[in-house]
Structure 1
């Protein structure tokens, strides 16, 4: 089979990209809304309809529905306020101020969120026309057309579930953690300097700052599985649960790793750059330990992605093996630190050594397979229990109605 051109391959890979999906659907919805409005509204240029469709259509069906409702409510509220003001006082500078203030207050009261300003905009546009009642009705109709077209487009042609991009985001974060852990271990073995420990801390902080971007990708994936006919309800709930818990675990690991880097930087500062942070066999064992934790983080990221697709057994086995080796190395590190302190007769900086061990323990504990399995089982049991209770209530109500009509 001949290979596809490189440009076509890139396009096919991006067919599930949120930017591509949003751009195509918004364009189609805007054109359709304009065509429908031309047929149903006397306005020769019904641009409110495509404008509404453009604002309503979101990258997921769930957000499209919620956005459409808020958009329609904001326009209707603005029109009603404008019509009421035009009948009472007309348009003056002070009435304009009153309508803006009233619209913003009403927008907050009806909780239209990002469309609060739309209440005031709709009111001002209607207040300035010669026939507010007629123009207001047309604007409401156009808004309804745009909202309906936008919702129907995403309902009849549902957008994809963005589970795969979210899984890639989890893997990207895991890869960043792995690179930093390997770097720390390698440079500790070579005799890390004060400058290197500070560089580790800066890299850990950058990873921490990236969490918001990863969380946004996961939020989109969670919303894309809600009300999506392409995704079975149980599968969607499972995917949301696995991805969210996985990202939360890696987020905790990022914070712990930043704290670990802080301890190493403080220890290097305490030694005033006169000698490496750790050296000899202790540095070598720390390198091995951090390498095993890095392998565990990498396996954990692959496990999260595999659990929402297929074939998680291999990643889970590699994670268990890396954690087992890591715990053995951790005990060796603790023994080496104790022996070094006893042999040297000095316990200076032991609180920093203790903080290092505590952070290593926390990393190993957060990635623990059995702990995660128990947590997932408990969450799934909780979800199943809620659904069973709902099913029982429905059956009881139905039985009661049958007895009442019998």
Structure 2
């Protein structure tokens, strides 16, 4: 049972269900206290619409949703006084609601303006009651916004788990490919590995969705320090794994071509095949170490992960040099398919280069600079205020 509770707390769907239920219930209780309506259902409805998985999405899409609902209620209030409800007034209210929705720029929530107007017009034709709907809408909106401001979730853990799962799947694929290098490999087996490598694209798309949710949970979140750094670390980490997945697909294609040409023969001479199998094993372990590094939240854990990655890369590079020498000897004896041998080494080199800590540090700094520059361009006044505040503190320190 405790394990189920812990897993439920990490599952966005479970957490969102509980949060939405609590927000809607609280909004209804507050509306019962403040509104004259016997059943103020607009308040919990608005709370359900406003409460999102993250604080950032609440403050962005939530405000637009509030605008759309309020606009629909106001339109229904005017129509309830002037014309009431009939087939032609329903068409007119839908037309007016959609036009107003585009005018007030509620984005993808334009249909909700018309939906809110029809709901209110269907339950009441009295202007005073419609204004109660406006009050209920505001109550639900405030409760929904406060709920995420006071209890903003952080989904970095679930995104980190997704990245770790992706790296382990890539590791298993590399180990399977390495086992096929020491003996005859049927074309069907090599093609199956190629199909597994192609399926990594779907896995990356799922991890990307989890990462976007984590990035939103870090924006404007008072529970998180250095949110920009955390977002960039995770994003650049996934970008690196995505590049490695593409290289893995190319590597699987190379081995499939070799299997087609070799037939019942070994893909490589026995000694070279064993060296390549060891090399792919080191690369597979380095991929997992890299994922641990980019998802570590504690500095001590990150330092240990970086040390393991560095040791794994050193072992891989030493094994790569030995494999290259053995492949060169094999090509001298039999130059057939030499280009595929060279392509396999080049693909390994590309993965090792992507996992290199120095290469990663450069990319990380570039992304941090780019993100900071975009923030300054998007919010120049806020950037100027921060610069002024920082200058003032520096100046005061210098004076002392």
TM-score > 0.5 by shorter chain? yes
Structure 2: runs of 5+ lacking an equivalent = 377-381, 393-400
Q: How many residues align?
A: 386
**How far is the alpha carbon of 1:18 from its aligned partner?**
2.1
Q: How does 1:30-45 map to 2 (within 5 A)?
A: 30-45=24-39
Is 1:360 aligned to 2:348, yes or no? yes
Q: CA distance change for structure 1 residues 325 and 71 in 2, over 3 Å: closer, same or farther?
A: same
Equivalent of 1:254, from 245, 260, 265? Answer: 245
Is 1:124 aligned to 2:114, yes or no? no
Secondary structure of the 1:243 match is: helix
8 A Cα contact 1:41 1:142, kept in partner: yes
Secondary structure of the 1:229 match is: coil
Between 1:328-337 and 1:368-377, the stretch displaced more is: 328-337
Aligned to 1:22: 16
Distance 1:319 1:119 in 2: 54
Between 1:315-324 and 1:175-184, the stretch displaced more is: 315-324
For residues 20-39 of structure 1, the C-alpha deviation after alignment (integer angstroms, 9 at most, x for no partner) is: 32122212111111111112
Aligned to 2:264: 274
Distance 2:309 2:210 in 1: 25
Distance 1:364 1:64 in 2: 41
For residues 102-150 of structure 1, the C-alpha deviation after alignment (integer angstroms, 9 at most, x for no partner) is: 4345435544345332112112224445626434323222111111011
8 A Cα contact 2:27 2:47, kept in partner: yes
Equivalent of 1:265, from 256, 276, 295? Answer: 256
Secondary structure of the 2:9 match is: coil
Structure 1: runs of 5+ lacking an equivalent = 1-6, 398-406
Equivalent of 1:171, from 156, 160, 164? Answer: 164
8 A Cα contact 1:104 1:120, kept in partner: yes
- The TM-score normalised by the length of structure 2 is 0.85
Q: CA distance change for structure 1 residues 238 and 54 in 2, over 3 Å: closer, same or farther?
A: same
Distance 2:239 2:298 in 1: 16
Distance 1:245 1:229 in 2: 23
Superposed CA RMSD: 2.9
- The TM-score normalised by the length of structure 1 is 0.84
**How far is the alpha carbon of 1:85 from its aligned partner?**
5.5
Q: CA distance change for structure 1 residues 309 and 167 in 2, over 3 Å: closer, same or farther?
A: farther
Equivalent of 2:329, from 331, 335, 339? Answer: 339
Distance 1:320 1:264 in 2: 28
Distance 2:326 2:103 in 1: 64
Distance 1:141 1:332 in 2: 75
